[in-house]
Structure 1
Amino acid sequence: MSILLRLLPYIAALALVAGALFGAYHHGVTVTDSKWQAQWYARDTRDEAARAANESAARVLEQAYQQSINKAVQDGQRIIDQATADASTARASADGLRGAADKLAARLAASEAGGNSCTAAASKAAARAATVLADVLKRADQRAGDLAEVADQARARGVTCEQAYDGLSK
């Protein structure tokens, strides 16, 4: 036992040194963890600020795109409205042309009633041909007007789409 008593101060000193080393190690770990936690927190704060700034910039850009699209739609609607008005004007003018063709066909049909039999047969054939021609002219004019209206509106829609795309791509 005397050896144990002799070694006890050394064991106690060794335990104190080990405890001090463990305390120093634990303090170092704690300081290092605190340092990393502070850096992570700072990084997270910077990331959040950058995210907010990017989101704000994206919203501004999105609003600019939307305003560009709205302007293109308004311009396109104005063009479509103008095309519709032009088509109505053309339709009214075409109605006058069709009326003139009907009057001509009616006048030719009325003129076939009189005259001698040879000229009456030729006149009757000519009146029928004129009536058919007038009918073909009316239908062709009607169809041309319809196609022109559709083409004008399709062009206006295409221009609107092109303006919207140009607004987004710039």
Structure 2
Amino acid sequence: MKSWAIRVIVLLALLASYWGVYQHGRSVEKAAAAEASAKRDSGDRLAEVIGERAARQEEQRRATAHEEARAHAQEERTIANAGAAGADAAGQRLRVEAGKLAATVSCPSTNTAAVARGQAATRAAMVLSDLLARADDRAGELAKAYDQARIAGQLCERSYNALIN
């Protein structure tokens, strides 16, 4: 064999060994990159799971707070309705008493002036009794509307506070 052939073989062996070292370095680098990618992906999945869990807990907290606010509003409505029923009963008693008073204002007499005064007083008492009844009805309506609006506003406020806290 000639020396140039040996040199070519040695050169080819040297190039083959460099090529092998290069390929080994690439495979080591690929393995390290794959490991780093797997760690990153694992961390991302863990963060995602933790984030979802926190979001679920927050959603449950908000739903519970909203349900508590709704239940509290229902209790207040029940109390307000009971109070309104009591006020209606008291107003009805007042109207009955006003009607009785209007009926008793008239007084039988032989004096025509007294009879005229009695009739005028009876009409005035009847007008006042009717006015009292209408005013009481309207006050009851307004009180019910106010109670409902107040309760709805408080429910809205509690629900909002539950969302932002």
**1:79 paired residue number:** 76
State the match for 2:90 in structure 1.
93
Percent identical: 36
- Among 146, 149, 167, which residue is 2:162 paired with? 167
Q: 1:141 to 1:115 in 2, by over 3 A?
A: farther
Letter in 2 for 1:97: L
Is 73-82 or 117-126 further displaced after alignment?
Answer: 117-126
Match of 1:123 among 95, 118, 126: 118
> Structure 1: how far apart are the matches of 2:56 and 2:87?
46
Amino acid at match of 2:50: A
SS of 2:14 mapped into structure 1: helix
Distance 2:13 2:107 in 1: 138
CA deviation profile, 1:63-103 (whole Å, cap 9, x unmatched)? 22222222222122111100100100110111101111222
Could you tell me how far apart the structure 1 residues matched to 2:17 and 2:135 are?
A: 107
Tell me the distance in 1 between the aligned counterparts of 2:110 and 2:27: 125
Does residue 27 (structure 1) correspond to residue 24 (structure 2)? The answer is yes
Question: Is the contact made by 1:112 and 1:127 (CA closer than 8 Å) also made in structure 2?
Answer: no
In structure 2, what is the Cα distance between the partners aligned to 1:63 and 1:147? Answer: 37
1:151 aligns with 2:143: no
For structure 2, the 5+ residue unaligned runs are none
- Structure 1 gap ranges (5+): none
The CA distance in 2 between the partners of 1:90 and 1:36, in whole Å, is 79
Alignment partner, residue 106 of structure 1: 103
What is the TM-score normalised by the length of structure 2?
0.83
How far off its partner does 1:115 sit?
4.3
The change in CA–CA distance for 1:9 and 1:115 in structure 2 (over 3 A counts) is: farther
**Displacement of 1:148:** 1.0
CA distance in structure 1 between the aligned counterparts of 2:137 and 2:73, rounded to whole angstroms: 25
The residue number in structure 2 matching 1:42 is: 39
The worse-fitting range, judged by mean Cα deviation, of 114-123 and 37-46 is 114-123
1:67 equivalent in structure 2: 64
Return the alpha-carbon distance in structure 2 between the equivalents of residues 168 and 115 of structure 1.
77
State how many pairs are aligned: 164
